[in-house]
Structure 1
């Protein structure tokens, strides 16, 4: 029976009533050329492909007292429960859709069932339909989530037949209670002390490796206080933006940087404008946590990510100077991450009983540590997607907006996804932290335009498509 990795177990146990550990995406479909498109046709496609998607079949069985990693129990999900039907309020525009998405994102997944759900949302303008997918992060990360997308959706309007080469189902039940208790006791008494010794040795080696670097990225808990660092409520606020991927690549080439540098510079510029308007721009650079995929072909279900911290030059007004600064600090962050990884034997999550993360998360929330000593100010993630159109039960996916989680009192998540020649940005916060989140999202396109003008590029694309 498969078991969670230590990282996945940390995500599982650290979930609280306000730290929701699901990630996912909002896909906008155009079904006008597909007469039979319905919630039933989507359920049928998902049901046919479940043998290829163990992540959508797994339920979690914990070890006693959280002393060891949980097990994944393979069972058939009830698709009537997991794929639900709802309509967006009239007139079905982008504002109404964003409000509905925020509401649906504001509650946790049922932890007693397979950890996912999909909402079939009708009533959008021009006859479009939205598919909102939520999956627990103990099952997927951004990259593997994109892989699930390529299994659920098709490269042509004609749905493919179920794959014959899908792995055979391994029906399973959780181990008996006494077996789970014995495994947990062995983990606590024998494995944990050995791993702690290894972790201490690793920490010393990493510190020595990083000390010799000429430039160092900001560390965790070195971020300035900001409006985005506050207790996270159960409610969510969602907004989105999109720009042409060709424009992003042209800016990348003009400045001799990476696509991720353009994303970070654009987000930094939008944050600067947003915080200047509210009079809340910190004197020090905001610090972003940037997840980095460590997934390989051998990686199974679950999360395979590390992360680095990048200081965003929000204090720099000139866009050209800002993107050059982003490139410099992101290179320093990568060098620091590489130096740490070269001496990486294990992570902190492997050294302690995973149930302790449940206590730690609640103690962290109660202490309001994240508000007074912010770990970072925001999370910025960039996930590559398909350059070709995808289809859901025959309906073309017009846009694909990713949505990340909020945790550790870091109340702003910006996740980007490239699809079909566009770069879509998903913004997530809470009403208390950023009730005007749409204003921040709308700053993405103007900031990209400023980078274009500073580089002497012609404006070859229209304003972002805000259609539902």
Structure 2
């Protein structure tokens, strides 16, 4: 593989940063996911594409051929990172991509084996300085069912801008790639200046939220094991809307309440002591136009009930917490600063690690709208697209994608902290949704 080093990832102190930076010009928010990346906490997200059964099986050669056709479409697909942990990163734009190395295959037997194999893939880092993504075709040796797992390092793209990577595989009409180009060639996101008074009030609100959720926490912490367990779940979007309406809630409020109830009735400690309060990181987009490359996500804190069986009480808490998030703009408290020269790389890495330790979240919940109109890849109809988030400081993550008639939930856990909990959560979550949905 030949490559061309574009530039150091950061501008020199005092340099003027372009207002319309190229996709190779990483910003402070992108660096966050390099600062937090460790041997046991890899900073990539993933998307599982599940196909409808019955169509002719995809072959590895066919998947590689499609990727080979598409990989030169956008520079975004050819970006890798050299170093970026203890040493300052530099961005590498590859002239050629070894598709055979980036697109591989595996086989599984039943659903549980599929989950184990996906988890094993999540445990493996994306090699540097190769392009920061990979594709794996997984095929059932018993039923012929197929799933494609796409992994992308979070420093390259958040989940919204990550829609560009669907362009590696998705079917398009008349060669029209405009749906993906929007997320592949637009300026890499920059926060821009923040009003000092707003920033101050945001930090005050963040600290108050942190203190309000500190008492009664007993959620198992993320370990250094590096192991992962996953589960995939899907539900009818219409069913979720009916359930939310029956509880006088928005879909967002209902999903937060249903997740919180599930964590309460299927507590990881079983019959032992439960967390009375669960501290949640909730991603909030800073780009309301949804037209960026890179990362435009900041974090707010929610404090959910951890020992409560009444769904309506959970929904009430979720509604109150969302109101605090919306009114306080607390997500600005931890936004990476791109208005001043950053400290030396190693020092900034220590600052980010200390900040995460100080925040000490219990779990992560992401509820995301889907934008793509594409419903097939390589001639196969897609049954579900399910996101899987990295574990960055927390031992449990559930990431939701509301896309047309199907809403999916990707569960990722640290089994050293929560043995067997991904499967147990899904079983209990399904029961909570069923109980909350009125009969037709």
Please report the TM-score for the alignment, with normalisation by the length of structure 1: 0.76
Q: Does 1:263 align with 2:250?
A: no
1:102 positional shift? 0.9
Is the Cα–Cα contact under 8 Å of residues 285 and 312 in structure 1 kept in the other structure? Answer: yes
1:50 positional shift? 2.0
Is the Cα–Cα contact under 8 Å of residues 265 and 323 in structure 1 kept in the other structure? Answer: yes
1:16 positional shift? 0.8
Q: Does 1:278 align with 2:270?
A: yes
Q: Does 1:318 align with 2:303?
A: no
Judging changes above 3 Å, is the alpha-carbon distance between structure 1 residues 10 and 354 closer, same or farther for their aligned structure 2 residues? farther
1:396 positional shift? 1.0
- SS of 1:122's equivalent? strand
Q: 1:353 aligns with which of 344, 347, 372?
A: 344
Q: 1:245 aligns with which of 230, 234, 237?
A: 237
Distance in 2 separating the partners of 1:451 and 1:418: 18
Judging changes above 3 Å, is the alpha-carbon distance between structure 1 residues 221 and 306 closer, same or farther for their aligned structure 2 residues? same
1:53 positional shift? 3.6
- SS of 2:124's equivalent? coil
Aligned to 1:134: 151
Distance in 1 separating the partners of 2:40 and 2:85: 24
Distance in 2 separating the partners of 1:139 and 1:343: 19
- SS of 1:335's equivalent? helix
1:155-209 per-residue CA deviation (whole Å, 9 max, x = no partner) reads 6xxx754759998xxxxxxxxxxxxxxxxxxxxxxxxxxx9xx99x94x753346
Aligned to 1:464: none
1:84 positional shift? 0.3
1:65 positional shift? 7.3
1:103 positional shift? 1.2
Is the Cα–Cα contact under 8 Å of residues 267 and 444 in structure 1 kept in the other structure? Answer: yes
Q: Which has the larger radius of gyration?
A: 1
For the aligned residues, what is the CA RMSD?
3.6
Q: Which has the higher helix share?
A: 1
Distance in 1 separating the partners of 2:350 and 2:336: 25
Judging changes above 3 Å, is the alpha-carbon distance between structure 1 residues 322 and 124 closer, same or farther for their aligned structure 2 residues? farther
Please, which runs of 5 or more residues in structure 1 have no aligned partner?
168-194, 461-468
Aligned to 2:140: 123
Residues 37-48 of structure 1 mapped to structure 2, 5 A cutoff: 37-48=58-69
1:112-134 per-residue CA deviation (whole Å, 9 max, x = no partner) reads 21111111111255321110111
Aligned to 2:200: 207
Residues 368-383 of structure 1 mapped to structure 2, 5 A cutoff: 370=357, 375-383=360-368
- SS of 2:329's equivalent? helix
Distance in 2 separating the partners of 1:225 and 1:129: 40
Is the Cα–Cα contact under 8 Å of residues 218 and 276 in structure 2 kept in the other structure? Answer: no
Is the Cα–Cα contact under 8 Å of residues 210 and 336 in structure 1 kept in the other structure? Answer: no
Judging changes above 3 Å, is the alpha-carbon distance between structure 1 residues 221 and 265 closer, same or farther for their aligned structure 2 residues? closer
Is the Cα–Cα contact under 8 Å of residues 58 and 114 in structure 1 kept in the other structure? Answer: yes
Aligned to 2:121: 104
Judging changes above 3 Å, is the alpha-carbon distance between structure 1 residues 152 and 223 closer, same or farther for their aligned structure 2 residues? farther
1:344 positional shift? 7.6
Judging changes above 3 Å, is the alpha-carbon distance between structure 1 residues 357 and 141 closer, same or farther for their aligned structure 2 residues? same
Distance in 1 separating the partners of 2:53 and 2:373: 18
Judging changes above 3 Å, is the alpha-carbon distance between structure 1 residues 357 and 442 closer, same or farther for their aligned structure 2 residues? farther
1:283-310 per-residue CA deviation (whole Å, 9 max, x = no partner) reads 5320110101223668543211012111
Distance in 2 separating the partners of 1:123 and 1:344: 43
Judging changes above 3 Å, is the alpha-carbon distance between structure 1 residues 277 and 118 closer, same or farther for their aligned structure 2 residues? same
Is the Cα–Cα contact under 8 Å of residues 377 and 412 in structure 1 kept in the other structure? Answer: yes
Residues 65-464 of structure 1 mapped to structure 2, 5 A cutoff: 66=87, 70-88=90-108, 92-123=109-140, 125-149=142-166, 152-154=169-171, 161=175, 163=177, 202=196, 206-208=199-201, 217-218=209-210, 222=214, 224-275=216-267, 278-295=270-287, 300-337=292-329, 341=332, 346=337, 351-359=342-350, 370=357, 375-385=360-370, 390-408=375-393, 410-437=394-421, 438-452=423-437, 457-458=438-439, 460=440
- SS of 2:231's equivalent? strand
Higher RCO by CA contacts (8 Å cutoff, separation 6 or greater): 1
Is the Cα–Cα contact under 8 Å of residues 283 and 300 in structure 2 kept in the other structure? Answer: yes
- SS of 2:238's equivalent? helix
Is the Cα–Cα contact under 8 Å of residues 35 and 353 in structure 2 kept in the other structure? Answer: no
Judging changes above 3 Å, is the alpha-carbon distance between structure 1 residues 325 and 302 closer, same or farther for their aligned structure 2 residues? same
Q: Does 1:6 align with 2:28?
A: yes
Please report the TM-score for the alignment, with normalisation by the length of structure 2: 0.80
1:55-95 per-residue CA deviation (whole Å, 9 max, x = no partner) reads 2210224689746x64342432111000001111xxx2211
Residues 53-68 of structure 1 mapped to structure 2, 5 A cutoff: 53-61=74-82, 66=87
1:351 positional shift? 3.6
Distance in 2 separating the partners of 1:110 and 1:266: 38
